[in-house]
């Protein structure tokens, strides 16, 4: 059995596959594979380990029906046509849970960085503008006791809420389609309507999957319903917010600032005005990027591949949005 990986894979997962006698070919070029190249490679392999954002769409799936599994090195699967995969009998797996803490830490980092204008303060040092003795300049805001609103309180949202309650005694409100009973019981999280989430959050952190229902939710109309002191955090997917509207909302003081690990589009252009706003912190989609977490993800993906090759139930198969 042979696996094709679209990027260099963290060692723990790779070792697991190789110990089982499976050969893994990794795409080592910096540039991403084109759709045609991906299909051409996959024709020669039994499984795909997808560590890039190449779409797994119907044209791909129609030409690669022989794959025993497409194992994603991510929890998000908005780049997969799940209905087509189900219809064409190509199993798809993801990596839930193991990356929740690292991604929540990224959201927490962005929240604190936006609140204290950290990225901007760093830029001040670089340009020789230390200015220590000015008591009213470059002030941030406290987070102690503030209200954290989570849109999509699942695995990552839960850890983010836990961090914020433990560190800053923040009150947690959330909006999901269902209830998160563990968060209600253990963190005192209160489910509110989406309108209340917008109106009451001091920090609003997005943790839903990108779906047709969640795309473009945070536009100017949504920002106008938020507090002028609110911080918007998105570590989920950039297409959930409208970036020109977010830029205008911060410029016009409709909201205070933002922390983004995901942008729309990615990569963000280096001239994007958000990068020069004092109350904005942007990271290049590094949510799960720690040594431990990426290794854990690679092990999870490898276990899904091994299960597929051994004809066993797949531990992390995704079958619906």
Ligand X SMILES: NC(=O)C1=CN([C@@H]2O[C@H](COP(=O)(O)OP(=O)(O)OC[C@H]3O[C@@H](n4cnc5c(N)ncnc54)[C@H](OP(=O)(O)O)[C@@H]3O)[C@@H](O)[C@H]2O)C=CC1
Is the Cβ of residue 201 or residue 234 nearer to ligand LL5AMS7Z in the bound state? 234
String of contacts with ligand X for each residue 206-235, x by CB under 6 A? -xxxx--xx--------------------x
Q: Is 210 in the site for ligand LL5AMS7Z (CB under 6 A)?
A: no
Of 241, 285, 294, 303, the one binding ligand X by CB under 6 A: 285
In three state form, how does the secondary structure of 75-86 look?
CCCCCECHHHHH
Q: Are 109 and 282 within 8 A, CB to CB?
A: no
Choose which of 75, 173, 230, 308 interacts with ligand X (CB under 6 A).
Answer: 75
Q: Find the shortest distance in angstroms from Cβ 35 to ligand X.
A: 21
Select from 6, 54, 74, 93 the one that contacts ligand LL5AMS7Z (CB under 6 A). Answer: 74
**Options 181, 213, 251, 266, the catalytic residue:** 266
288 binds ligand X (CB under 6 A): yes
Interatomic CA distance for residues 207 and 205, integer angstroms: 7
- Tell me the per-residue interface mask from 89 to 118 with ligand LL5AMS7Z, x by CB under 6 A, - otherwise: ----------x-------------------
237, 241, 243, 294: the catalytic one is 237
Q: Kindly state whether residue 76 participates in binding ligand LL5AMS7Z, applying the rule CB under 6 A.
A: yes
Window of 70-78, 152-160, 179-187, 268-276 that interacts with ligand LL5AMS7Z by CB under 6 A: 70-78
Tokens of 215: 């795309």
Report in angstroms how near the CB of residue 214 gets to ligand LL5AMS7Z at its nearest.
Answer: 14
User: Per-residue b/e over 76-114, b at no fewer than 16 CB within 10 Å?
Assistant: bbbbbbeebbbebebbbbbbbebbbbbbbbbbbbbbbbb
Nearer to ligand X, 6 or 103 (CB): 103
Q: What distance in Å separates the CA atoms of residue 309 and residue 8, rounded to the nearest whole number? A: 21
Contact window for ligand X (CB under 6 A) among 22-30, 97-105, 124-132, 299-307: 97-105
Residue 178 interacting with ligand X (CB under 6 A): yes
Phi, psi of 117 (to 5 degrees): 55, 40
Instruction: List the one residue from 288, 295, 304, 316 that touches ligand LL5AMS7Z (CB under 6 A).
Output: 288
Query: Could you confirm whether 15 is annotated as catalytic?
Result: no
Q: Per CB under 6 A, which region of 21-29, 69-77, 153-161, 177-185 contacts ligand LL5AMS7Z?
A: 69-77
Q: In the annotation, is 175 catalytic?
A: no
Pairing of strands 92-93, 190-191: unpaired
Per the annotation, the verdict on 66 as an active-site residue is no
CB of 39 to ligand X, least distance (A): 25
Residues designated catalytic: 237, 266, 285
Binding site for ligand X (CB under 6 A): 75-76, 96, 99-100, 103, 151-157, 175-178, 207-210, 213-214, 235-237, 261-262, 285, 287-288
Query: Where along the sequence are the contacts to ligand LL5AMS7Z (CB under 6 A)?
Result: 74-76, 99, 287-288
């Amino acid at each position: 059995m042979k696996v094709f990986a679209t990027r260099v894979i963290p060692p723990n997962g790779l070792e697991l596959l190789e110990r089982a006698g499976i050969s893994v070919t990794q795409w080592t070029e910096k540039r991403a594979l084109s759709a045609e190249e991906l299909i051409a490679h996959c024709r020669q392999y039994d499984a795909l380990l997808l560590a890039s954002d190449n779409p797994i769409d119907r044209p791909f799936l129609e030409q690669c029906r022989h794959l025993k599994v497409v194992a994603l090195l991510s929890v998000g699967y908005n780049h997969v046509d799940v209905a087509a995969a189900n219809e064409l009998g190509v199993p798809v797996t993801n990596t839930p849970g193991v990356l929740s803490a690292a991604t929540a830490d990224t959201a927490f980092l962005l929240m604190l960085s936006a609140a204290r204008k950290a990225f901007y303060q760093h830029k001040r040092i670089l340009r020789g503008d230390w200015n220590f003795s000015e008591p009213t300049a470059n002030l941030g805001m406290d987070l102690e006791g503030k209200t954290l609103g989570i849109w999509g309180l699942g695995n990552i949202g839960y850890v983010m809420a836990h961090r914020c309650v433990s560190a800053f005694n923040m009150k947690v409100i959330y909006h999901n389609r269902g209830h998160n009973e563990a968060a209600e019981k253990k963190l005192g999280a209160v489910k509110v309507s989406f309108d209340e989430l917008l109106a009451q959050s001091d920090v609003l952190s997005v943790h839903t999957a990108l779906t047709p229902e969640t795309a473009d939710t945070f536009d100017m109309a949504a920002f106008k319903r938020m507090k002028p002191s609110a911080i918007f955090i998105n570590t989920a997917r950039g297409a959930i917010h409208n970036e020109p509207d977010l830029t205008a909302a911060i410029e016009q003081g409709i909201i205070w600032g933002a922390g983004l690990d995901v942008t729309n589009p990615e990569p963000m252009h280096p001239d994007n005005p958000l990068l020069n706003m004092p109350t904005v912190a942007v990271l290049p989609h590094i949510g799960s990027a720690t040594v431990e977490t990426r290794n854990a993800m690679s092990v999870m993906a490898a276990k899904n591949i091994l299960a597929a090759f051994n004809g066993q139930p797949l531990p992390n198969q995704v079958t619906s949005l």
